[in-house]
């Protein structure tokens, strides 16, 4: 098909606009990296833009020694790994029966779950329930309060419904039960949507903030998100991070420490996303509502 001159101009304009948008999106991240690995003198004089000036890692060294960064990072990893595992298992176990046409009253249960997307109990009733269960100051308060996302469940249920029924019939003719059918047939062909939902849950648990402040009172159990927020807003945390041994005294500025903390917080998601990105669009589209 021949492309007209007007179409070429339009496509070129689109490419230019998209490149500009991409550059504007990358600029804060690149500037953050440059701040975190530049010298304090360069940061104070405003010489750091896109490229680091006076390369050094003193900020990261001070951040590790002067703040509970490692502990908070491990807490975030524990919250994310266990939370994603529990949520994915619960979402699969909820979506699979609701996708089977032979499941009795599946429409009723689906509507009841959709109802929770419109009306919720609110923060105070939820906190009273968590407190009544004795889960305050426990990570189970975070995991159980967000065990199944109705939105994610609907995506997965619709994907399961789109799997040809002939696959189920062939498996049952070979003597395959429901459990084996789910584990050996359904889940392997559903990897795109499973990877997408894993990313959804992973980002949500890694960035959990408000629930952490509401349910977790022990500061030793706080995650990386809370620590970085305290570093940005609390001067006392920054001053504490600068109190190192005299023989290790280095000159750092607050902007460098804040940039390093934010970079450590977002780095894991940036590293994981490229491996799941190829599943992202495909998983959401295949799990969308039938047209």
**Domain of 260: which CATH number?**
1.10.3720.10
- Quick one: 1 and 136 in the same domain? no
- Quick one: 51 and 167 in the same domain? no
Does the pLDDT at position 236 exceed 80? no
Mean pLDDT check: name the lowest of 14-23, 216-225, 228-237.
228-237
Calculate mean pLDDT across residues 199-207: 91
- Quick one: 82 and 214 in the same domain? yes
- Quick one: 217 and 227 in the same domain? yes
CA 183 to chain centre: 25
pLDDT confidence of residue 289 = 46
- Quick one: 16 and 145 in the same domain? no
Mean pLDDT check: name the lowest of 66-70, 182-186, 200-204, 211-215.
66-70
CB 156 within 8 A of CB 90: no
Does the pLDDT at position 65 exceed 70? yes
Among 155, 269, 158, 263, smallest CA distance to 206 is for 269
- Quick one: 51 and 136 in the same domain? no
Question: Which residues lie closer than 8 Å to 65 by C-beta, 6 or more apart?
Answer: 244, 248
- Quick one: 5 and 92 in the same domain? no
pLDDT confidence of residue 75 = 93
- What is the residue range of 277's domain? 57-291
Please tell me whether residue 187 adopts helix, strand or coil conformation: coil
Q: What angle do CA 74, 76, 81 make, to 5 degrees?
A: 95
Mean pLDDT check: name the lowest of 28-32, 64-68, 111-115, 223-227.
64-68
Structural domain count, the chain? 2
- Quick one: 26 and 170 in the same domain? no
Question: Which residues lie closer than 8 Å to 203 by C-beta, 6 or more apart?
Answer: 269
Among 17, 32, 56, the domain-final residue is: 56
Please tell me whether residue 189 adopts helix, strand or coil conformation: helix
Among 19, 38, 56, the domain-final residue is: 56
- Quick one: 30 and 92 in the same domain? no
Calculate mean pLDDT across residues 173-198: 85
Q: What is the dihedral of CA 123, 129, 132, 134, to 10 degrees?
A: -80
Name residue, tokens 């499941």: 103
Does the pLDDT at position 31 exceed 90? no
- Quick one: 234 and 170 in the same domain? yes
Confidence of residue 85 (pLDDT cuts 50, 70, 90): very high
- Quick one: 179 and 245 in the same domain? yes
- Quick one: 158 and 106 in the same domain? yes
């Amino acid at each position: 098909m021949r492309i007209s001159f007007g179409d070429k101009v339009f496509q070129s304009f689109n490419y230019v606009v998209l490149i500009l948008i991409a550059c504007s999106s990358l600029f804060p991240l690149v500037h953050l990296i440059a701040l975190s690995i530049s010298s304090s003198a360069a940061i104070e004089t405003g010489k750091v833009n896109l490229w680091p000036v006076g390369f050094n890692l003193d900020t990261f060294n001070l951040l590790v020694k002067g703040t509970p960064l490692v502990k908070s990072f491990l807490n975030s990893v524990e919250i994310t790994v266990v939370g994603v595992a529990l949520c994915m298992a619960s979402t699969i176990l909820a979506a699979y029966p609701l996708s089977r046409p032979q499941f009795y009253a599946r429409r009723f249960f689906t509507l009841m779950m959709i109802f929770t997307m419109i009306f919720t109990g609110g923060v105070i009733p939820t906190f009273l329930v968590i407190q009544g269960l004795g889960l305050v100051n426990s990570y189970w308060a975070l995991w159980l309060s967000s065990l199944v996302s109705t939105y994610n469940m609907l995506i997965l249920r619709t994907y399961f419904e789109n799997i040809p029924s002939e696959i189920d019939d062939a498996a049952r003719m070979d003597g395959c039960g429901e459990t084996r059918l789910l584990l050996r047939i359904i889940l392997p062909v559903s990897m795109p949507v499973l990877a997408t939902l894993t990313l959804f849950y992973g980002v949500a648990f890694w960035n959990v903030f408000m629930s952490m402040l509401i349910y977790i009172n022990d500061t030793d159990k706080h995650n990386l998100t809370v620590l970085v927020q305290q570093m940005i807003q609390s001067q006392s945390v920054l001053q504490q991070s600068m109190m190192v041994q005299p023989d290790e005294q280095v000159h750092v500025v607050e902007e460098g420490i804040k940039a390093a903390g934010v970079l450590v917080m977002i780095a894991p998601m940036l590293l994981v996303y490229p491996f799941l990105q190829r599943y992202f669009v495909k998983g959401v589209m295949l799990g969308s509502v039938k047209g």
